[in-house]
A = this chain, B = another copy of it.
């Protein structure tokens, strides 16, 4: 006889049927009530043991973390908080768990502690909920693009180009570090390396994505990207997943429409397919915020915040107008911003973004047309404005609490303008011939954007540390498991 997954049993109504449950013991109370979880649901099923007719030695092995197989009758529960339970007729311990050593005792553990046992934290309700939501968001991303006939492209992880000029990249090598081959000049001889050149881990699939978009029309990537920044914050990972769609014949407005539609689609999907998980995470967050001073608590609970993004049309504002709003804002006038806004050209900080979203517009905001100097070389240049200021067709989507959720732009399709900008910022054209070919042979207006996937998961789960929304976080000095 097959076992049934607990998620299914918890919704069952056919009482009296014989069932088999396999899972792990979360708690065992009064020598009688086993709370069993098999990972299919954040909720446990209760199995009631006839302890008087069960061997004592066996009962002693029903410890937290042990794996059990239970056969019994599914009955309506009279206890509070559960609709069904299993009246046990057969009980086996499949895998023991030494209660002295098992780190996950049935009590509240701090998130910090759980990060140290990332391989076991999946067995808690909180992390079950987080990774179920992450799973739902992943699937929703693929479904969204599939419904729109986008082609999923696997852009390369190992790259020979340093196109973003970011500098903060991880080297990939098979050279012997102890004694690397040298050229006659004494330099490291990367011709001897695996790929015959110096290679790194990608920071973005965008440039390769553009190549594909200019053949397939609409494509997207969804894969890992890497930054070797030595940032130990709650918002940085060295390895994270990114979603990057790229569309031929899309102007900036089409790009904004698509990004807004994507975010609403995946949030809606998570709400619909993970109601229990999100309810659980909402309550977790309310608990967490109780420890904060009232002024620091979020005005909206998690579900309200998600609906806030679904129900509002995102406000579209030009950078130049946003600067005026910020200049005249109370926190700027009263010098409450850490970085005061006094002139056009300033790079907006998180405090400014949050002011625009949470205080001024009270809805998600798409900021566009940023100063050229603070944005990437590949963004399409606008004509200078009446004051001669240069801007680019960039767009960032700002969300409550989290700040930038999406960064994108229309791309500069004009070869000469692109070459001139590359020269200005010092990107050697000869390393980018393949990229420039897209502007040589049938160049067309096109646009794209990137969504940091963990940031999206952070937003939808209401978690505050990005290390809690990726299974095995990689950060400076930390590559465990």
Please give the residue numbers on chain A whose beta carbons come within 8 Å of chain B beta carbons, in ascending order: 3, 5, 7, 22, 24-25, 38-40, 65-67, 94-98, 101-102, 119-120, 122-123, 127-128, 131-132, 134-135, 138-139, 142, 146, 149, 151-161, 170-175, 177-178, 180, 187-188, 194-197, 199, 201, 208, 211-212, 215-218, 223-224, 226, 228, 230, 238-239, 241, 248-249, 413, 434-435, 437-445, 470-472, 474, 476-481
Contacts and interface: CB of A to CB of B under 8 A. Distances in A.
Contacts of A7: 149
A154 to B, nearest CB: 6
Contacts of A472: 155-156, 208
A135 B142 CA distance: 10
A199 to B, nearest CB: 5
B440 A101 contact: yes
11 contacts: A39-B216, A65-B442, A67-B444, A119-B211, A154-B224, A156-B471, A173-B177, A177-B188, A178-B188, A199-B479, A224-B224
A196 B66 contact: no
Given A154-B471, A156-B471, A238-B194, A170 B174 contact: yes
6 shortest interchain CB distances as A-B pairs: A122-B215, A95-B443, A39-B216, A196-B477, A67-B442, A195-B479
Contacts of A434: 119, 480-481
Contacts of A173: 170-171, 173, 177
Contacts of A170: 158, 172-174, 194
Contact of A152 (B128, B139, B441): B139
Given A208-B471, A212-B471, A158 B217 contact: no
A195 B481 contact: no
A98 B440 CA distance: 8
A371 B353 CA distance: 62
Contact of A479 (B156, B238, B241): B156
A275 to B, nearest CB: 15
Contact of A160 (B175, B249, B479): B479
A94 B443 contact: yes
Contacts of A120: 211, 215, 437, 441
Nearest to A99: B441
A117 to B, nearest CB: 8
Contacts of A435: 119
B174 A177 contact: no
A40 B40 CA distance: 39
Contacts of A212: 122, 131, 471
A416 to B, nearest CB: 13
B156 A131 contact: no
Given A138-B142, A139-B146, 18 more contacts: A5-B217, A39-B217, A39-B218, A39-B248, A97-B442, A119-B434, A128-B215, A128-B216, A131-B212, A135-B152, A139-B152, A142-B142, A158-B238, A177-B188, A194-B230, A195-B479, A211-B481, A212-B471
A464 to B, nearest CB: 20
A305 to B, nearest CB: 24
Nearest to A439: B95
Contacts of A201: 157-158, 172
Given A39-B248, A139-B142, A208-B481, A122 B171 contact: no
A97 B24 CA distance: 64
Contacts of A138: 142, 152
A216 B133 CA distance: 13
A435 B241 CA distance: 24
A180 B171 CA distance: 13
Contacts of A122: 211-212, 215-216
A97 B38 contact: no
Nearest to A122: B215
A139 to B, nearest CB: 5
Contacts of A226: 157-158
Contact of A158 (B119, B139, B194, B474): B474
Contacts of A39: 151, 215-218, 248
A197 B199 CA distance: 20
